[in-house]
Amino acid sequence: MLILSSCLFAVCLFLTGCMHTTKEGVSNSDKSVKIGVLLPLSGGASSYGEEMMMVLKHKNAMLKNPAELHFEDSKCTASDAVSGFQKLVDLKSVDAILGGFCSSETLAIEPLLEQNNLVAISGTSSSPEIEGKSQNMMTLSYSDNVIAEAMAKHLAGSKNIAIITEQNDYNIALKNSLENLLGDKIIANEVFEKDAKDMRNIIEKVKQSSPDVLILNPNIGDTTTTLITQLAESKDYFKNIKLVSQETYVADSSRVGVEDLVEGMVLFAAPTLSDSRVDSFIASLPSSVDNLGVFYSATAHDALENLVRAVQDSRLNNTLVLDELRNGPLSGLVVKGKDFAGKNFVQGIEAGKFVVTKGKAVSQK
């Protein structure tokens, strides 16, 4: 009887060890994955954050083993992203971070990742400044260098180019790339403060330079509408100037009321996705993604899918989450089969070109 009891005890110990139980007696493989999400849920970019929250909740419900999603309002600012990050780490003990949303958020939390033994994947951040940072930071977006190169190619025959930029990490990085590519073709290069309410003085300076091309480079949110609306006050002047911009004016709602001014405006942004799986996912969403758009809805889907899978596989394989993300191809709608190749940006994403036609941003394939 004593021998039998001893054997049973030994078997129990063996099984317990195989299950990798925690102090609470719950198997690591059975524990819910906790993903901390940084999104602008208030402020000028809140419409983008709210749509992305909806996309993530919908995708999470589709997973075989849904994760615990913990959201913090990052407001598209560095300081709020850091504050939100600390809450997710200290109060929620998350396994990984999805974010930041804006590049300023991503750059702000990057130094904190290795300190806290965490990885982060952004589905949206595109500043070239992200490249060369910690390997714990990854983004599924294209780099703004890709956008700048596409713009420069489009403007190869232009000479008198003006740029209006918002003082923000993402926009300054794009401006810097354009300066390197366009050189002395740039005859006016104006920057307004983040979240500014009045750009009229800058617009007047641009008019005095007599450009043939004007590149509009505001951040997503309220300044997008403010800039184009105040530009329209001088519609008679600017209607004969070629307007070029980036992702922020792709949403048709960003150009309401200024249709005459922006007709023919050329936009360089995320590529158009022609994939039945993407179409099916977008169609399944409970509401529209008019601001976030199809590409970033799909990269949000992919960011969550790969983060959850990496955490789960790291528990099963007794490996690092970082290694699971870095060693092998990714899965999803946009990045399936792609990898980071040692970079911070996923490789193989190209820019899309759109032309505003009758109030719609029409893809140029």
Cβ–Cβ under 8 Å, residues 201 and 171: no
Q: Is the pLDDT of residue 209 over 90?
A: yes
Tens digits of per-residue pLDDT, 305-327? 999 999 999 999 999 999 999 99
Could you give the 3-state DSSP secondary structure of residue 136?
Answer: coil
User: pLDDT-derived band of residue 27, with 50, 70 and 90 as boundaries?
Assistant: very low
Domain boundaries, the chain: 28-142+274-326, 144-269
Confidence at residue 29, expressed as pLDDT on a 0 to 100 scale: 57
Task: State mean pLDDT over 75-86.
Answer: 97
Q: Is the bond leading into 100 cis (omega within 30 degrees of zero)?
A: yes
Tens digits of per-residue pLDDT, 117-141? 999 999 999 999 999 999 999 999 9
At the second CATH level, the architecture of 28-142+274-326 is 3-Layer(aba) Sandwich (3.40)
**pTM more than 0.85:** no
Could you give the 3-state DSSP secondary structure of residue 267?
Answer: strand
Confidence at residue 221, expressed as pLDDT on a 0 to 100 scale: 87
Please give the CATH topology (third level) of the domain spanning 144-269.
Rossmann fold (3.40.50)
Residue 286: how many CA atoms within 13 Å on its side-chain side? 12
Residue 121, CA distances (Å) to 227, 256, 299, 303 in order: 31, 33, 10, 6
